[in-house]
Structure formats: structure tokens, C-alpha cells
Amino acid sequence: MFEPLSYRKGEDVNQETYDRDVSARADQMIAEVASRERQSMWSLHAGLKLNTASDDVVTDVIAKGLQSDIAGFSKPQTGGPFHVLPAMLLMSRWENRLPQDAFDTIHRFMTRGMLERGNTENHWLMFYAGNLLATEIWASEPTFWNGLPPAAMHAEASRWLLGMIARTATIGHYEYDSTGYHTEHFVPYLMLAEHARDPVMRCQAGLMVDLLLADMALEYFHGAYAGGHSREGNVNTWTQVGPGQALNYLYFGDEEFDPDRHCQTYATPAVASRYRPPAVLARMALDRHAPHVVRKTKAPRAVYRHVDRPAEPVRKYTYMSRSFALGSTQTGLPGAPAGPIDLTSWDLTWRGPRHQAKICCNHPYRSPRRFSAFLPDLPQRVGRSVGTRKPYLQTPDRLFGASPYERMMQHEGAVIVLYQIPADDETPFVNCFLPKAHAWCEQAGWILADLGGFCVGIRPIGAYEWEKIHEPGKDGNWIDGWLLRIDDRHAGLVLEAVEMAEAGSFESYRRVRADAHFDLDEWPSKSRVAIDTFAGVRLEMTYDGPHHIDGEAIDYSAYPLLGAPGVDAPLGSGRATFRHGEDTLDLDFGIDADAAPLPMRVIG
């Protein structure tokens, strides 16, 4: 099988060779998706691109897609974002190829259906992107599905879409770096960049496509999306996860082709697209010649109820090393009960099979008010209604989801994570996940392992027990490994990862780690912990207080929109520059930095 990876052959990755490689991978993926018996409105692009989808198949797929309950709408001609977007993707790209029955079905759905926009940022983005394109195609309709003339619907959609773009380009992505939903942001903007007739929308959407791909590239690690994630859910012990795997393979391509992982349905419209990114983004994603730090700022969470102050901006710190990536997050949450359900605040990632190359920990916070802080349901019933539909959000063994009582700091390959859990909390403990495939040894309070290319040391704060955790699922095991339960309201954890080339050997790392300074004298009485890293750097963390590195306080407010070697993206500017070698990509959204950002009224 042809493996289109020029950089592996020592070739120069310029725009020409890069475009060739992306096209070869796209052909590979399109052929696989088109050959599958089961098709959807998302995957149908493959058969249409190859001209192998018959009129009957196209008509049947669209008819079923717009009368299904995929997004929770069970009656014919009702639907939500996961109907609106794929329908208009097909209409915009393949209008001249669609059979008349299929054309009429989409037309009737978009002009006379009962459509709902959902409750997350990706929902609203898909909803408004699809509706904007529909108003441009059927601009002569007297009214649309909601009783408004097309011009009014177009103006409303434009307001939200351009507002979301401006927010993202100035104060950061709201539903940020999601392994599950980054694709559902990327594809709508790509559709608008290719098919919107409004030149302003085409331009701004095109800039967003490059910005979202750059966002991925900065934390790309051998097929995985490293760092903290706004939404990842109960697959956060998996090494590679989510529809974003398709975009990773298509645009970065440093893996062997795996149809099950790389041919993700939701990404098929992007695979069938003519879009070829600037090669500089792939070069940045694949350059691991030297360890480096990535800093990001993301927009504050919108919290509706139960809190007395707004959330603060999210600050991310990810250390990209040769053998591992360690990322952490200052979530900016305003306190209980705000605890976003799908959030992954930190983890250690390296190359390996599912469940065998991740370390993370979590306080499995649960409260009925946790859901009603974000969702519009009545506080009296939302805990039961959400917990009944998604029981995994309430399990005491949970390893994902935000806790309002979690704080952390990080310097390169070392992270401190601390908790102060109230006495009346339902789950006054912390869960830590460790892979089973490795030999762990306990020494001087530390749990240590030789992971091949690097060493790792974990220092639980509080009494802990080893338990096995195993949960089967439809796609293989959801979770399989060791669960370290730290049974302490003032639990915490210190983790350090050090490249083997730096440590010299595992034995030398063990000796240095066991003897290095580690101060718990003021925890929890004065909420302070201090530790020296393997390299001799002093980290001092005060819970809800300052974080110091060798005596110097970290200024999180100084974080840029995006920051890494070769990246210049000041917060609030609406501009970003990416450089690698002689290649440069400049993105300028032309946004008034003094304009108030569009308020987000969504969860996510």
C-alpha cells in the first residue's frame, strides 16, 4: 500500500510535496469510506466524489437521514444541527449531482421543517452555517421554516457566525481543543469558506479553518491531541480518540493508515474537499527535534446559575517533548457547582495502545446543581434527567469531568495537582489512572516506572489503594488499567516525566527523585506544596494562591492566544503568525479589538 509520507523519505516538505501527500491520503480515505455498505449524509461525499453512489442510494440516504432520530428528533421533517449541516453540505457541494427527489427532500426540510439549534457551540455553528447557505441557495423563497424571510435568516446566521469567529480569534475558542468535537467546528467553517456567497463570510471562515488546524498542530503528538480538552468524556484514557483522528491523518500523516480510526464519518466532507492547508502547519505539527512549551488562552465558560462571579479565561500549558506530552489547564471556573461534565483538565500522553499510554486523575464531582449550572432544565429535575440518560456522568470511578475543587500548576515535565474537597461532598476522594502494561515500583512515597523513552514518577498526596478498573464497551474496553484511589479530602498528586536521555538511566532517576526536595509541611494547613524537579527547579504552589517557579510567580494573564516557538498570536488582537524555517503564515481577521465579544449562551 502506498504510504504518502514524504518527510519519512527525507524529502523536503514544501507546499507541492505536501499537497501531493494530502491528496494521496484523501484518495485512500475516500476509497475506504465509499466501499462501506452503511452510508450517511456525512459519508455520502465519498461515493459522490468517486461517482459510485447511484441515484437510488443518494435519495435513500438523504430521505432516511432527514427522518431519523440521530439528534434526538424522531418525527419526520424535524431536526437539529446534525441534520441541518450534512444536508446543506450535500446541497452546496453536489447540487448538480443530486437526484430531484433528494433535492426536493432537502429543500422541503430547510424551508418547511421544524429545526432546533441545540445547546452547544458546535450545535449552533452547524445550525447557522447550514441555514446561511440555505438562504443563499433559496433566496427567492417568501419565508423560511421559522416564518422569517431568507434575508432576515441570513442576517441572523451571519451575526452569530461572524461573532463566534471574532470571539475565537481574539479571546479564544469556547469549545476548545475537543477530541470529540473539533471536527464539528472545522467542517462547518470549511463549508462556508468553499460555498458561502457572501465574500466577507468566505474570507473569515477561511481564516478560521487555518486557525483551527493550527490550534491542533501545536499539540499534535503522533496521532493524539495532547493537552487539556474542553470536551473529551469517558474516553480520556484512550491514546487516540474522536473524529479528529481523521483530520490528524489527512493533514499530518505520520501514522500507518488505520481505516477504523482514520475514516471517521463526520470528517468525510473535509476529506472530499479541495482544501489543502499551508504546509507550514504540518511542519510545525511534526517537528519534535526539541522539547518546547505551548501556551494557549481560551474563552471563559458561560455559567448560568448558582455562582456569584463569572468564570475567568482558560489558560493551557502543554510541554511537548520527544517521547511524551504533558498538558494542564487553569480552568478559570468560579467555584461549585460549576463542573463541566466532559472536561479533561490534564494528562500525560505518550505513544502506545489504548489505555497503555495515558496517566490522568480526577475528583469525580457530582451534584444536581452541577448540571443546572449549565443546562436550561429545572434545577429540581436536571440531575435525575441527565444522570438517567448518561449514568457514566455519575459513577464514583469516573476519570473525566471538571471538579470545582481542583487546582494545578506545571513547569515543563512536572505538574502539581491539589484538591480541597468539602466534608459534605458525595465523593471525597480522587481517582488516578495508571496503565497496567508497565512495571510500577514504590519508593520513598513515589510510584515510578521506566516507560522506555522516558521515566515517570508519581507522588500521591494522601492515603491510596490500588484497584483494577475495567469497563467493556461497544468499541472495545472503555477503560482498562489500574485505579489509584487517593482517599483524602485534601488529596493531591505530583507527576514528573523526564526523558531517558536526560535521566541517564531509570536507576539514576530513581535515586535523584527519592532524594530531591519535597515539602508537605504546610499542606493542608497553609495550602502550600513545594517540590524540586529532577533538573533542580523549585515549584511552589499555594491552593487558590500564587504559583512560583524558582521564586518567580507565574503570570497567567500574560498568556497569549496561542504561544509556541515560531508562533505570535497576541490575545485580543485578532492576528496570528506561524513561522517554521522560511515558511510563514499570517492570519489577520481585521477585528476591532475594542468591540465587545458576542456572548455565548451555550454549554460545551
> Residue 391: pLDDT above 60?
yes
For residues 460 and 12, which has the higher predicted lDDT (pLDDT)? 460
> What kind and span of H or E run contains 368?
helix 368-372
Weakest-pLDDT range from 52-56, 238-242, 305-309, 387-391: 387-391
471 band by pLDDT with thresholds 50, 70 and 90: confident
The whole-angstrom separation of Cα 196 and Cα 92 is 9
> Residue 74: pLDDT above 70?
no
Q: What confidence tens digit (pLDDT) does each residue in 479-531 have?
A: 999 999 999 999 999 999 999 999 999 999 999 999 999 999 999 999 999 99
Q: What angle do CA 165, 556, 301 make, to 5 degrees?
A: 45
> Residue 105: pLDDT above 80?
yes
242 band by pLDDT with thresholds 50, 70 and 90: confident
DSSP labels, 3-60: ---GGGGT----HHHHHHHHHHHHHHHHHHHHT-S---TTTHHHHHHHT-S-HHHHHH
pLDDT value at position 72?
Answer: 43
pLDDT value at position 198?
Answer: 98
For residues 378 and 274, which has the higher predicted lDDT (pLDDT)? 274
Whether 346 and 327 have beta carbons less than 8 Å apart is answered as: yes
For residues 294 and 367, which has the higher predicted lDDT (pLDDT)? 294
The whole-angstrom separation of Cα 41 and Cα 28 is 20
Of all residues in the chain, what percent carry a pLDDT higher than 90? 82
377 band by pLDDT with thresholds 50, 70 and 90: confident
Please state the rounded mean pLDDT for residues 389-395: 83
CA nearest to 84, candidates 99, 70, 100, 98: 70
473 band by pLDDT with thresholds 50, 70 and 90: confident
Question: Which residues, 6 or more positions from 428, have their beta carbon under 8 angstroms from its beta carbon?
Answer: 421, 422, 487, 488, 489
Mean pLDDT of the residues in the chain: 93
pLDDT value at position 156?
Answer: 97
For residues 75 and 359, which has the higher predicted lDDT (pLDDT)? 359
227 band by pLDDT with thresholds 50, 70 and 90: very high
Question: Which residues, 6 or more positions from 318, have their beta carbon under 8 angstroms from its beta carbon?
Answer: 218, 219, 226, 227, 228, 293, 294, 295, 296, 325, 326, 327, 328
The packing angle between helices 244-251 and 182-195, to 10°, is: 60
Torsion of CA 433, 442, 351, 292, to 10 degrees: 100
For residues 221 and 602, which has the higher predicted lDDT (pLDDT)? 221
Of all residues in the chain, what percent carry a pLDDT higher than 70? 96
DSSP labels, 515-527: HS-EE-TTTTTTS
pLDDT value at position 12?
Answer: 67
pLDDT value at position 73?
Answer: 43
> Residue 381: pLDDT above 60?
yes
Please confirm whether the linkage preceding 337 is cis (ω < 30° from 0): yes
> Residue 378: pLDDT above 70?
yes
The C-alpha cell 489503594 sits at 465
pLDDT value at position 6?
Answer: 43
In a 3-state reduction of DSSP, which class is residue 513?
Answer: helix
Weakest-pLDDT range from 168-177, 190-199, 217-226, 297-306: 297-306
For residues 78 and 33, which has the higher predicted lDDT (pLDDT)? 33
Please state the rounded mean pLDDT for residues 126-137: 98
CA nearest to 427, candidates 339, 338, 468, 366: 366
In a 3-state reduction of DSSP, which class is residue 507?
Answer: helix
Residue 205 backbone zone (phi > 0: left; psi -120 to 50: alpha; other: beta)? alpha
The whole-angstrom separation of Cα 66 and Cα 414 is 50
pLDDT value at position 371?
Answer: 83
Question: Which residues, 6 or more positions from 290, have their beta carbon under 8 angstroms from its beta carbon?
Answer: none
Q: What confidence tens digit (pLDDT) does each residue in 185-196 have?
A: 999 999 999 999
85-89, 239-243, 287-291, 309-313: which is most confident:
85-89
Weakest-pLDDT range from 173-182, 364-373, 468-477, 537-546: 468-477
- Provide the grid cell at 65: 437521514
The whole-angstrom separation of Cα 298 and Cα 121 is 14
CA nearest to 86, candidates 43, 49, 42, 121: 42
Please confirm whether the linkage preceding 368 is cis (ω < 30° from 0): no
Dihedral sign computed on CA atoms, order 379, 381, 384, 389: negative
Dihedral sign computed on CA atoms, order 233, 235, 240, 244: negative
For residues 337 and 77, which has the higher predicted lDDT (pLDDT)? 337
Q: What angle do CA 157, 162, 165 make, to 5 degrees?
A: 130
CA nearest to 319, candidates 440, 406, 411: 411
